[in-house]
């Protein structure tokens, strides 16, 4: 399938694996790129720029295809040395960076000087337009359904994607709630040039996380995510568990007076406990409503191949079928 996104990034299929803390290691990014999508290493999971350089080198050993690095600009307990991370990205020969969180404006000159294509993740049309204006090459439009930080507008993709299509000149992918061929074809119909998946890629054989995490995703339904940290305007969609219940209890008690320190134990240092140790009640970890559509743990290649094959069937059989034989004939002539 050829779209503005496959052309921009030099990939076979319009499928991106979004950066994911403690999930987006070389093993997953390499597998996604080898399957014809765009794999992304999560920059800040690597505690130092030197460790990121090593992870990039590891991924180069796994694939000759393009892959990217995610740089997230979110409120953290200690500010990371972004210029040094960008140097590691540039020196690692990376040509695609997924930015997220705050605007990447201040880092655009450094990224562009290194001939890096930037896809910025946005949860609103206004932020997408800003990304376009500051020179981003593409946008990942992240709807309210998404795992991670859906922003504060609560705008689902059924509205957000066609609105993005109305306003944007640069290509965009649909992100949040994407799981299969139906997601891809629906997103394309609404104006996107591909899709970005997070949660779906965790439940794959190659995702380097504890099996408990994959099993929890398969077992969960679309009703099992919760929004946390709303009072801090840092809303995150997470999978419910005992730690999240404790966190929500504190949030209810404190109301608008909530401070990040009040919930430190349920949000800080949780990822290694969940992703490496498989402690599923440790606290808040990002997870999308799309868990309701995830029923198996295939290899990344099986997943990507299945999506692309089913998408073709969906378009040719189901959608073209609605047009009737007469229209099909006229389309063939065209």
Ligand X SMILES: Cc1cc2nc3c(=O)[nH]c(=O)nc-3n(C[C@H](O)[C@H](O)[C@H](O)COP(=O)(O)O)c2cc1C
Beta strands in the chain (DSSP E): 15-17, 39-42, 67-73, 96-101, 117-122, 138-142, 172-175, 195-197, 225-228, 236-239
Looking at 5, 197, 207, 229, which residue binds ligand X (CB under 6 A)? 197
Cβ proximity to ligand X: between 136 and 178 the closer is: 178
SS3 of residue 154 by DSSP: coil
Using alpha carbons, select from 238, 20, 266 the residue that is nearest to residue 147.
238
CA distance 237 to 112: 32
Q: Is 176 in the site for ligand X (CB under 6 A)?
A: yes
| Among positions 34, 199, 204, 241, the unique one binding ligand X when judged by CB under 6 A | 199
Residue 286 interacts with ligand X (CB under 6 A): yes or no: yes
The verdict on 37 binding ligand X (CB under 6 A) reads no
111 binds ligand X (CB under 6 A): no
Residue (79 or 256) nearer to ligand X, CB: 79
21 binds ligand X (CB under 6 A): yes
Q: How far is CA 196 from CA 35, 105, 159, 272, in A?
A: 14, 22, 17, 24
Query: How many of the other CB atoms lie within 10 Å of CB of 48?
Result: 13
Q: If binding is defined by CB under 6 A, does position 177 make contact with ligand X?
A: yes
Taking the C-alpha atoms of residue 276 and residue 278, their distance in angstroms, rounded to an integer, is 6
* 186: contact with ligand X by CB under 6 A: no
Query: Is residue 42 part of the contact set for ligand X (CB under 6 A)?
Result: yes
Confirm or reject binding of residue 147 to ligand X (CB under 6 A): yes
Residue nearest ligand X (C-beta atom): 198
Nearer to ligand X, 152 or 321 (CB): 152
**Cβ closer to ligand X: 34 or 225?**
225
Q: What is the DSSP string of 185-213?
A: HHHHHTT-SSEEESHHHHSSTTS-S-HHH
Q: Does 285 bind ligand X (CB under 6 A)?
A: yes
Give the dihedral sign, CA 50/54/59/61.
positive
Kindly state the smallest distance separating residue 81's Cβ from ligand X, in Å: 17
In Å, how far are 128, 136, 200, 289 from 157, measured between CA atoms?
14, 21, 17, 12
Of the residues 30, 148, 186, 283, which one makes contact with ligand X according to CB under 6 A: 148
Q: Do residues 310 and 180 lie in contact, with contact meaning Cβ atoms separated by under 8 Å?
A: yes
Smallest gap from residue 100 Cβ to ligand X (A): 3
Give the interface size with ligand X as a residue count (CB under 6 A): 29
Q: Tell me if 270 contacts ligand X by CB under 6 A.
A: no
Q: Which residues bind ligand X (CB under 6 A)?
A: 18-21, 23, 42, 70, 72, 100, 121, 142, 145-148, 175-178, 196-200, 285-288, 290
């Amino acid at each position: 399938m050829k779209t503005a996104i496959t052309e921009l990034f030099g990939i076979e299929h319009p499928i991106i694996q979004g950066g994911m803390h403690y999930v987006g290691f070389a093993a997953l990014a390499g597998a996604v790129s080898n399957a014809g999508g765009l794999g992304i290493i999560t920059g800040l999971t690597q505690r130092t720029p030197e460790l990121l350089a090593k992870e990039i080198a590891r991924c180069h050993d796994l694939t000759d295809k393009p892959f990217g690095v995610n740089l997230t600009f979110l409120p953290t307990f200690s500010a990371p040395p972004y210029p040094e991370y960008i140097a590691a990205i540039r020196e690692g020969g990376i040509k695609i960076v997924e930015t997220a969180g705050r605007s990447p404006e201040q880092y655009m000159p450094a990224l562009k000087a290194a001939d890096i294509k930037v896809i910025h993740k946005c949860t609103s049309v206004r932020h997408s337009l800003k990304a376009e204006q500051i020179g981003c090459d593409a946008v990942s439009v992240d709807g309210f359904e998404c795992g991670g930080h859906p922003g504060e507008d609560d705008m689902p993709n059924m509205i957000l994607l066609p609105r993005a299509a109305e306003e944007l000149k640069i290509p965009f992918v649909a992100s949040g709630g994407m799981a299969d061929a139906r997601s891809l074809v629906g997103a394309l119909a609404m104006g996107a040039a591909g899709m970005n998946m997070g949660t779906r890629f965790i439940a794959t054989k190659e995702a380097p996380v504890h099996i408990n995490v994959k099993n929890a995703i398969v077992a969960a339904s679309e009703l099992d995510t919760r929004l946390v940290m709303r009072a801090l305007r840092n809303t995150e969609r997470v999978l419910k568990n005992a730690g999240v219940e404790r966190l929500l209890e504190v949030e209810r008690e404190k109301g608008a007076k909530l401070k990040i320190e009040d919930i430190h134990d349920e949000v800080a240092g949780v990822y290694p406990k969940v992703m490496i140790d498989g402690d599923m009640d440790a606290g808040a970890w990002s997870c999308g409503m799309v868990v309701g559509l995830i029923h198996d743990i295939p290899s990344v290649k099986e997943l990507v191949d299945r999506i692309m094959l089913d998408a073709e069937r969906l378009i040719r059989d189901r959608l073209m079928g609605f047009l009737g034989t007469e229209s099909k004939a006229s389309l063939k002539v065209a």
